[in-house]
Structure formats: structure tokens, C-alpha cells
Amino acid sequence: LVSRDIKEEDTIIRFPGTNITIGGRDLAMIAGPCSIESREQGFACAEAVAKAGAQFFRGGAYKPRTSPYAFQGLGEEALKIMAEIRDRFGLRIVTEAIDAEALELVAEYADVIQIGARNMQNYSLLRAAGRKRKPVLLKRGLSATLEEFLMAAEYIMSEGNYEVILCERGIRTFTDHTRNTLDLSIVPAVQRLSHLPIIVDPSHGTGKRNKVTPLARAAVAVGADGLIVEVHHQPDKALSDGMQSIYPEQYEQLFHECSQIAEIL
């Protein structure tokens, strides 16, 4: 089902009641904090990304943290805050479901269900997301091959949900100038084999604020259908991923530069 041999034309995901698409001509721009930390923080970040021109707001309610003692997310309270944000700013909401229980709530509140890198091969969760009637943003596993990535999408589609967005977010690396190695070559590789849209996450892909915009530009130049970027109004106070979160002014600049690149393609 993921293959271009089965479906030649690109998949375009539409959002009812809007002219927003993922996989169409416009770049899908998703931005927001790693985690929703409070109503005030969520609104401040959302206002900033809406002003810059983003169509989607990202924010974690359930966080897959390396340490069990680190901030784990506000859960349903965060989902409620994001539902308010959708009403207030007209942004579509993207948020991660870390397990079957979270999936039920995320599918109720969000516009796009995110499956994180750590769950790319959680086949029961993929199947469950495939039974939901909302688009699924599937992140590439921490060291997944292209074949494994596409087969993970196949699990979702095999249950009848054909609205899958692939996301390159960097793979495990041996070096330390970057958190992960952002593998931009997977964008044209996916586009050759599959009709599904593919976006890029330069935030988790680099882990460092000063590398986010250059890699975002490169991702658009290589043909990505969109970007998911962590933006925080006070990154030094963020409860997760502050080091890679960019400031609202930086996001405005990123948005402007990436739109210009997309235009000449």
C-alpha cells in the first residue's frame, strides 16, 4: 500500500473545513514547543507560530523521556489546552500518542496523531493508529532503515488508514557535534518508492538551536513536503528539549527563508 507501484500519484492529505494540505503544493509547516507545560506557555508559543504563518501546532502531552524522572507531560490537560489553541488560532493540532491508552485520547482531541521514533516498530500501536480516522505522522525509528520505515507505514495502512505522513528526524550517530545525523537523503529515496508525503524534523535531527534553520533550508531544498520544528518563547525555561528549541523570531526567519526556497522549486 505504501508503494508507488500501487498508487502512482502523490498522496495529498486534506483537513476538512480548511484549505490546508500535507503533500500538496504548499509546505506543511508544523511548529510549537516540545511539551505543553502550562496554558500560558502553550498559548504564547501558539501565538508566535501562528503569526509566523504555520498551519499546524505541535505540543507534547505524553512525552517519551529518556529518564523516568524527567517531565512526562501534562496528559489530557495538555490535550485540552491544545483544543483551545485550535479554536483560538485556527492551527491544526499534532501530538504524540506514546501508547494505546494515550492513543484513544489523542485521536479524540488532535488533528494529526504522532507516532514517535521510539515507537516506530511498536506494531500493535501502529495497527491501533491504523484503525483511527485521523492522519498519522510517523517518525523514523532511531536507527531504522528505509525498508523498516516504509513497512511501519504499511502496518498503519494495512488497517485501512491511508493518511500517513513520514517524518525524518535523524538517526543514531557516533559523533557529538549533533544529537542525531539528519538523513536528508531519505527524502528523495522515499519519494522514489512511495506516494506518501515526507516531512523533516531539523530540531530532533540536530539537537542544537543554531543548526535548526540551516538544516530546515536544506530539507526544503531536497524536496521535503514540510517541516516540524520546536519553537519556545522561553527556551531556557523549557521542561524538555530547550537546547534545540528556537525563538519565535528565529522561526519567523526560518519560515520566510524556507518559503522562498520552496517557491523556486
Q: Which residues bind Mn ion (CB under 5 A)?
A: 34, 241
Q: Which amino acid is at 11?
A: T
Which is nearer to ligand PEP, 244 or 250 (by Cβ)?
Answer: 244
- Distance in Å, CB of 233 to Mn ion, minimum: 16
CB of 152 to ligand PEP, least distance (A): 13
In the complex, what is the shortest distance from the CB of residue 229 to Mn ion, in angstroms, rounded to a whole number? 11
**CB nearer Mn ion, residue 34 or residue 224:** 34
Q: Which does 42 bind (CB under 5 to 8 A by kind): ligand PEP, Mn ion, none?
A: none
Using rule CB under 6 A, residue 179 touches ligand PEP: no
Q: Which is nearer to ligand PEP, 23 or 60 (CB)?
A: 60
User: Is residue 139 close enough to count as binding ligand PEP by CB under 6 A?
Assistant: yes
Shortest approach of ligand PEP to residue 153 CB, angstroms?
15
Interface residue with ligand PEP among 23, 42, 59, 116 (CB under 6 A) is 116
169 binds, among Mn ion, ligand PEP, none (CB under 5 to 8 A by kind): ligand PEP
- Interface with ligand PEP (CB under 6 A), residue from 92, 179, 204, 211: 204
Round to whole Å and give the CA distance between 29 and 226: 6
Per CB under 6 A, 232 contacts ligand PEP = no
- Nearest distance from C-beta of residue 75 to ligand PEP, angstroms: 15
Which of the ranges 113-121, 144-152, 217-225, 244-252 carries the binding residues for ligand PEP, by CB under 6 A?
113-121
**Residue 187 to residues 198, 236, 249: CA-CA distances in angstroms?**
7, 32, 27
Amino acid in position 25: R
Give 20 or 137: the residue with its C-beta nearer to ligand PEP.
Answer: 137
Contacts of 263 (CB under 8 A, 6+ apart): none
- Which range, of 111-119, 152-160, 189-197, 208-216, touches ligand PEP by CB under 6 A? 111-119
- The secondary structure of the chain as a DSSP string is --BTTT--SPP-EE-TTS--EESSSS-EEEEE-SB---HHHHHHHHHHHHHHT-SEEE-BSS---SSTTS----THHHHHHHHHHHHHH-PEEEEE--SHHHHHHHHHH-SEEEE-GGGTT-HHHHHHHHTSSS-EEEEPPTT--HHHHHHHHHHHHTTT---EEEEE--B--S-SSSSSB--TTHHHHHHHHB-S-EEE-HHHHH-SHHHHHHHHHHHHHTT-SEEEEEB-SSGGG-SS-GGGPBPHHHHHHHHHHHHHHHHH-
* Residue 242 binds ligand PEP, judged by CB under 6 A: no
Which C-beta is closer to ligand PEP: that of 10 or that of 64? 64
Q: Is residue 117 at the binding interface for ligand PEP, with CB under 6 A as the rule?
A: yes
